[in-house]
Amino acid sequence: MEFATKKYMVKYENNPVMSPSMMPIQCLYTFNPGAIKYKDEYILMMDVTTLDDIHRIWIARSKDGYNFKADPQPPKWPAPDPTHPETCTYDPRITQIGDEFIILYASDLSQNNVRVGIIKTKDFETFERVAIASELGNRNGALFPEKINGLYCRLDRPFGNEQDPCSMWVSYSPDLVFWGKSEPVKFNGVPFMDGFKMGAGAVPIRVKEGWLEFYHTVSTTCNGFIYRIKACILDAENPAKILGYTKDFLLYPEPQNDYENEGRVGNVTFICNAIPEPDGSIKIYYGAADTNIGLATCNMQEIIDLCMANPCNE
Ligand code: BMA
C-alpha cells in the first residue's frame, strides 16, 4: 500500500485572503467564490451572508491575487422571473466563452428548494439574465467553456433532500435555456459515487487528456458532513465518462487551520473555479468553513498525472 507523502495543494501562508472582517459592511460570512482573471485583475464573486441571513453574491478584486478588496456594494443583480422568485443566490461558477462570462449559481427559495440560475456579464459591472433558474432540486452547475458535439454542456447535481446522497451529472442545451439529455457521470461504465455526496467543484479546464475537473466529495460523521476536494479527468467528447480520478483527497480542512473549522459550517472546503496560470500552476480560491476564503495552489500536470494513475479500464 502506498500512502501520500506530498501535499499537492499548497495553502497560502497568510490565509484567509478574505473573511467577514475585511468587508465594508457588517456581515456573517464570506465564502465559496467563483474566481476568474479579467483584464489585469483577479475577480472573486463571493457568497456573502448579510445580517438578515441571506446569501448574496458580492465581488472582491485584486491586482496580485493575494490582497483583495470587496466592492462597496453588491452587484446589481438581474431581477428574477416573477414565476421564480429567489431568496438566496450563492456558489457562482464563472465560465468565459468569447468575450462573455456566463455565471451558473444556486438560486434558492429555501434550503431544499434550489435551482441553477444563469446570468452573464462582459465587464463584471452589469449583469443580464440568460435564463430563469431551471428545474427544482438542482445545484452545483458548472458550464463547460466550449460546446461539446454542438451543444452547451454543464455539470450539475440533481438532489432531493439535503440529507440524501447525490452525485455529479452532465446535461446539455442548445441555447443555455432548455436543458436535457442528462446522465450521471460514470467510471468503468457505472454511475460514479465518490463519497456520500459529490458535485462539481470547478468549471472544467480543457487539457490535452480531456477535461480536468476538481469536484467535492462529502463524507459523513456521526454529527455532520466533511467537504473535501478531489480531481478527475473527463473524456473530451463524452464528459459523462471519467478517464481517471485521484484516489486521495487533494484539498481538505486541516485541524490546525481555525479558518477552515470555525464558522457557519466547520470542516468544509468548497470550490467553484480553478484558475490556470501561465507557469503551469493552478490557483484555487476556496470557501473554508462556509465563512472565509483561502488560496491554495497546485501544479496542473501533477494533478493530471495523479488522475491518470488511477485509470478507467473500460
Ligand atoms: C452545500 C452548499 C454550499 C456549502 C456546503 C457546506 O450544500 O450549500 O454552499 O458550502 O453545502 O455547507
pLDDT per residue as tens digits for the range 140-161: 999 999 999 999 999 999 886 7
Residue 38's CB is within 10 A of a number of other CB atoms, namely: 15
Mean pLDDT of 216-244: 97
**Residue of 32, 104, 161 best suited for mutating to test ligand 1, as the one with most atoms within 8 Å of CB:** 32
For atom 7 of ligand 1, the residue with the nearest CA is 162
Mean pLDDT of 11-25: 98
The closest of 145, 135, 143, 149 to 178, measured between CA atoms, is 135
State whether residue 303 is helix, strand or coil. Answer: helix
pLDDT band at 135 (very low <50, low <70, confident <90, very high): confident
pLDDT band at 166 (very low <50, low <70, confident <90, very high): confident
Show the 3-state SS of 196-215: CEEEECCCCEEECCEEEEEE
- pLDDT of 81 > 80? The answer is no
Report pLDDT digits (tens) over 86-128: 999 999 999 999 999 999 999 998 777 899 999 999 999 999 9
Pocket-forming residues, ligand 1, beta carbon under 6 Å = 32, 90-91, 227, 265, 268, 270, 287, 290
31 CA closest ligand 1 atom index: 10
For atom 6 of ligand 1, the residue with the nearest CA is 268
pLDDT at res. 255: 97
77 against 135, higher pLDDT: 77
